[in-house]
Amino acid sequence: MEAETKLESFKAYVRKMKQYEEAIALIYWDMRTGAPKKGIGTRSEVVGELSAEVFRMSTSEEMGGYVDFFMQPEQLEKLDTISRKMVLECKKDYDRSKKIPADKYQEYVVLTSQAESVWEDAKHKSDFAMFQPYLEKIVATTREFIELWGYEGNKYNTLLDMYEPGMTVDKLDEVFGALRSKVVPLLQRIQASPNQPDRSFLDQQYDIAKQKQFSLMILNQMQYDFEAGRLDETVHPFATALNPGDVRITTRYLPNDITSALFGTIHEGGHALYEQNISSDLVGTNLCTGTSMGIHESQSRFWENVVGRSREFWNRYYGELQSTFAGQIDDIDVDTFYKANNHIHPSLIRIEADELTYNLHIMIRYELEKELINGSIQVADLPEAWNAKYKEYLGVVPANNGEGVLQDVHWAGGAFGYFPSYSLGNMYAAQFTNTLRKELPNFDQLIEAGNLAPIKEWLTDKIYQYGKLLTPSEIVMQVTGEELNPDYLVQYLEDKYKEIYGI
């Protein structure tokens, strides 16, 4: 009986931590979507205090007692699947977090909350010097934490594992190397092709209210539940999951770009579909979230690219886009629009990059992060190192730091180790799609009919419902029957772009 009582007490303790985290997430969303600038300093301290309380709970003697008790072999084997996984996750967090002093963690949370606000101004002004002291403190603290956490092999492995459990620098270098060896020659062939898409019609003003109207319609078509979410505006699009019944997304509307907000909204909608469709059995547990950022990004990239940039998608929705922007693209046929939205061209901005070169943007960030964390470059070196890698990998050089090293919010939030998730997501998405096409052979016809529900249901059954109950590798193996394989992404890119460019 003691074990049953202790289990209920443990679950209530975890639920309380999740409730704190939900409050923190709501404050964070508010800070990014319109909180008054003058309140950011004090609000950051509130986030720091609440986060520190969750941190204290995760490293408390009470949590230690639960972990010690339920990690006993005779106790662990008695637990049901969900309870056992909850305990294992708590142990992993406990062992890691116990090594960090609570006051140091609180200082770090306040620092990153303030840094994100400073980053917004610095990005707008293209002023790296304004942001540099904050980033230097964040990097120094991250290095300090790694020494306390410990690491095997490369120091960056510890950070990778936080976003993609089981991933290492050695594995990532291997899959990135395999991908790069195929992407670069394909890019060269595309650039040499005489069949370059016409994009001139995209260069005009598109009413933002109409952009929002069309984005909302597409989210509905994707089965995004507006009774369990909302769409807002922000500088850098993101999704925030408070619980499956409240998953919010943001986007950024550009008056001279009809595609940025649309594909950004679809991308964040993919994240949201994952979180909205986690099993109700996991609500209130530490498993009620995506299993990793790589698997999470597989869903945002799947909806944005495999579905949203497909020919079938635009066969279905292009007429409605023409009606929404009546008189602006009436004389542009669907094939021209489809090819324009799949134009391959090395660019400066990651979130606006095409499918092919996007992975090169990620590799640049990954390499810079490894160097930063291992101390081979310093924060002050970043603008120059960034520009050099962009010239080497993509043949372009930023005109200023706003479109260069300051373009992403991730480092302001201390999210080192996150960027590789995007390319891993592309690889997972292609691998999942290969299986999906076998199990839903009418996949293309469903998209062309605007019947996206069966696709979402398949993803819910195979991926979404499990939350963090399964590891990334368990999900991939269960769905596809093999480990992560970059060849599926290469094949997807080659098939699609050889047809578009006639190569």
Task: Catalogue the active-site residues.
Answer: 268
Nearest to 256 by CA among 328, 205, 200, 329: 205
C-alpha separations of 467 from 89, 90, 285, 380, 472 in Å? 13, 15, 10, 39, 10
Side chain identity at residue 205, one-letter code? Q
Token reading at 147? 């020494």
The Cα–Cα gap between 475 and 431 comes to: 12
The Cα–Cα gap between 434 and 492 comes to: 9
Residues 6+ apart with CB under 8 A from 320: 214, 217
Residues 6+ apart with CB under 8 A from 29: 240, 248
The Cα–Cα gap between 403 and 247 comes to: 29
Nearest to 146 by CA among 136, 161, 131: 161
The Cα–Cα gap between 270 and 90 comes to: 28
Nearest to 486 by CA among 183, 187, 178, 181: 178
- The secondary structure of residue 350, as a DSSP letter, is G
Torsion sign over Cα 379, 380, 383, 389: negative
Nearest to 501 by CA among 202, 197, 200, 185: 197
The Cα–Cα gap between 385 and 416 comes to: 17
The Cα–Cα gap between 10 and 446 comes to: 45
Count the alpha carbons within 13 Å of 454 in the hemisphere toward its beta carbon.
15
